[in-house]
Amino acid sequence: MLNLKRREGESIIIDKKITVTLKTINHDGTATIGIEAPKDILVDRKEVFNRKKAQKVL
């Protein structure tokens, strides 16, 4: 696993197609991120992905 530190407003680029931006860091320890990806790339939270996988939706 690659671990990166980012400040608010900073981004990472994945495979020239996906941009992940750290939008805000909240006082409760959570972060808001923005993800820009082509429509043909599935983007889900892990718990949603696992639920779909268990239901064989994927």
Q: What is the pLDDT of residues 8-54, one digit of tens each?
A: 999 999 999 999 999 999 999 999 999 999 999 999 999 999 999 99
- pLDDT band at 6; cut points 50, 70, 90: very high
Of 10, 52, 8, 14, nearest in space to 36 by CA: 14
**Per-residue pLDDT, 58:** 67
What is this structure's pTM?
0.82
Q: Where do we find the tokens 């808001």? A: 32
Residue ranges of the domains in the chain? Answer: 11-54
**Per-residue pLDDT, 31:** 95
Report the alpha-carbon distance of residue 6 to residue 16 in Å, rounded.
18
